[in-house]
Amino acid sequence: MVDDLGLLGRLEEKLASIQRDFSEQKVVADERWRKIEPVLMERSGELQRMKDFYDDLNSLGKKQRESDERMLKIAESSETRAQRIEGSIRHVESRQNRVFWMVTGGFAVLQFLWLLVGDSIQAAAGAWVSR
């Protein structure tokens, strides 16, 4: 039992030593925390600003991509409209060509008929006017 008391006394001394060491380490840790805390707070503000900057940058990129997509859709729809307009222009030009050749053909037929019967028509008209 004496050995148990001696062992118990040594354990109590060891526990007291550990408690002193812990108290000293706590004081050291508290001092370090007081020195580090402002730096950490400053860094966390910088990190937040960096995060905000990256978020802003990403949102600008997203807006740019959306704008590019809108412009592409507008360009595609403009291309489609331009193709429709070109088709309409080709149709109008073909109709103009048809009318031009019809009128030209009509004048050619009139000239041919005038060559065939123009002298007799002039003579008949002169006789009718002279009466």
Per-residue DSSP letters for 36-103?
A: HHHHHHHHHHHHHHHHHHHHHHHHHHHHHHHHHHHHHHHHHHHHHHHHHHHHHHHHHHHHHHHHHHHH
The pLDDT score that the predictor gives to residue 101 is 96
**In a domain? residue 88:** yes
How far, in Å, CA of 79 to CA of 72, rounded? 10
Domain around 61: 1-95
The pLDDT score that the predictor gives to residue 88 is 93
CA dihedral sign, ordered 113, 115, 120, 122: positive
**In a domain? residue 129:** no
**In a domain? residue 123:** no
pLDDT in tens, the chain (131 residues): 557 777 778 888 888 888 888 888 888 888 988 888 887 777 777 878 888 888 888 888 898 899 989 998 888 888 888 899 999 999 999 999 999 999 999 999 999 999 998 888 888 888 787 76
**In a domain? residue 14:** yes
DSSP at 122: H
**In a domain? residue 126:** no
**In a domain? residue 35:** yes
* Structural domains of the chain, count: 1
∠ CA 127-129-130, nearest 5°, is: 65
Burial 74-96 (b: 16+ CB within 10 A, else e): eeeeeeeeeeeeeeeeeeeeeee
The residue whose two tokens read 């991509």 is: 65
**In a domain? residue 8:** yes
**In a domain? residue 118:** no
